[in-house]
Amino acid sequence: MMKGNILVSGGSGYIGSHTCIELINSGYKPIIVDNLSNSDIQSLDRIEEIAGERPEFFEINLCDREALNQIPKSLRIDALIHFAAFKSVNESVADPLMYYHNNLESLVNILRFCTERNIEHLVFSSSCTVYGDAKELPVTEETPLQKASSPYGNTKQISETIILDYLKVHPELNTISLRYFNPAGAHPSAKIGELPRGIPNNLLPYLTQTAVGLRDELKVFGGDYNTKDGSAIRDYIHVSDLAEAHLKAFEFMKSGKMTSNYDLFNLGSGNGYTVLEVIKSYEKVSGEKLPYQIVDRRPGDVEKIWASTEKAEKILGFTPSRGIDDITKSAWEWEKHYRKNIEKSIS
């Protein structure tokens, strides 16, 4: 029995596609809205192959408010999960206006769309970058926000403020902001995973692309941080765990147990790993030696951050089930599977 329709903006992207699989497996019908600026239409094929159902798809740029009228008003939408945004820290440093326009304009249009279509539940894709260079570790949801270290992080801070201001005059809209730490890894089937366009900005895809010879070597940005080995520390959460957390957030809203129409949760593993520790994990699970070079720090990066997961565990009942070795192994299996299929299609 189908439980309801959930509109997923950015649903053909990395986290969005994994979440669509989780929604289908749990009896929901995802409807994807995406402009394919950083994703591949073939992700719909992969979702269908894994979950047995092909999501309905609308190619729409969310910065174009009128384009949202392509979604029929007769289509009942029970909830909206808003992933669609640009997400590269260093790209945002190089082109801040592109980030402010895309990430904020799309959110404004999504909020208006929720009101126009009487959508009562919204899950917003936020980020641990809102904490800036946090003074307390691990960070809790009450940790004071510092000045964002990048325009990308600032768009997420501003987005949360926009949502809070909007909810004051639209109490009928229940919203949860999920502050991701570092999503990584790939689906256990190895049939879908992170597939960035151009040079990857995230560690895991750059790492696996280096392993298959697409990149000469991995660059480790900064070897003089105040950490155990000098490289920066991050909290990595498996993308499939993250996808499950979105479902739990929606079902928590639907249960009527929210004490107000807004809440927020950290989504991480609760563990901090240095870049060099992630490289060692990859080398262990793959049996491959990875060439890397330590270079200067990268503008916009913070030294170290990891999450307190207590609130998500207590209220959402969410605990990640996959560790760092699961993350690196699944990323490697996906890379091999993807490259093998490319070679088949060429031959």
- Indicate the angle between helix axes 14-25 and 239-254, nearest 10 degrees: 60
159 φ/ψ angles, rounded to the nearest 5 degrees: -60, -45
As beta bridge partners, residue 273 has: 234
As beta bridge partners, residue 233 has: 274, 304
**Residue 58 near residue 71 (C-beta atoms within 8 A):** yes
**Residue 227 near residue 304 (C-beta atoms within 8 A):** yes
**Residue 306 near residue 277 (C-beta atoms within 8 A):** no
DSSP 251-302: HHHHTT--SSSEEEEEES-S--EEHHHHHHHHHHHH-----EEEE---TT--
Cα-based torsion angle of the residue sequence 133, 137, 141, 147 in order, rounded to the nearest 10 degrees: -10
CB contact set of 25 (below 8 Å; sequence gap of 6+): 51
Element (H, E) at 79: strand 79-82
Nearest-angstrom CA–CA distance, 329 and 290: 14
Element (H, E) at 124: strand 121-127
As beta bridge partners, residue 262 has: 175
The single residue of 14, 28, 131, 152 carrying the catalytic annotation is 152
The verdict on whether 131 is a catalytic residue reads no
Task: Tell me the catalytic residues.
Answer: 152
